[in-house]
Amino acid sequence: MTLTWRDVEGLARELAARFPGEDPLGIDLPRLRGMILALPSFKDEPDAASDEVLEEIQAAWYEESAL
């Protein structure tokens, strides 16, 4: 499965699975971008996401981690 910046929920699930001990809200946006770019399933333009998209992914990751 290939993920792009638009796959907010999918990215959140991948981040939660790959980084189970991380506090999503304690990660700054540049580090979050790097973590997403390092996901094997991520295939999109590295600089195509705005801060708002990164914040959406971060919030979705937080919600995924709370389950």
Rounded Cα distance, 41 and 52, in Å: 21
| Number of independent structural domains in the chain | 1
Domain extent for 17: 8-66
- What per-residue confidence (pLDDT) applies to 60? 98
What CATH number does the domain containing 16 carry?
1.10.10.600
Give mean pLDDT, residues 28-41: 97
- What per-residue confidence (pLDDT) applies to 7? 98
Judging by beta carbons within 10 Å of its beta carbon (0-12, 13-18, 19+), is residue 24 exposed, middle or buried?
buried
Residue 23 tokens, joined: 């506090």
Is 17 part of a structural domain of the chain? yes
Q: What is the pLDDT of residues 15-33, one digit of tens each?
A: 999 999 999 999 999 999 9
Is 46 part of a structural domain of the chain? yes
Is 3 part of a structural domain of the chain? no
Q: pTM to 2 decimals? A: 0.94
Is 40 part of a structural domain of the chain? yes
Is 2 part of a structural domain of the chain? no
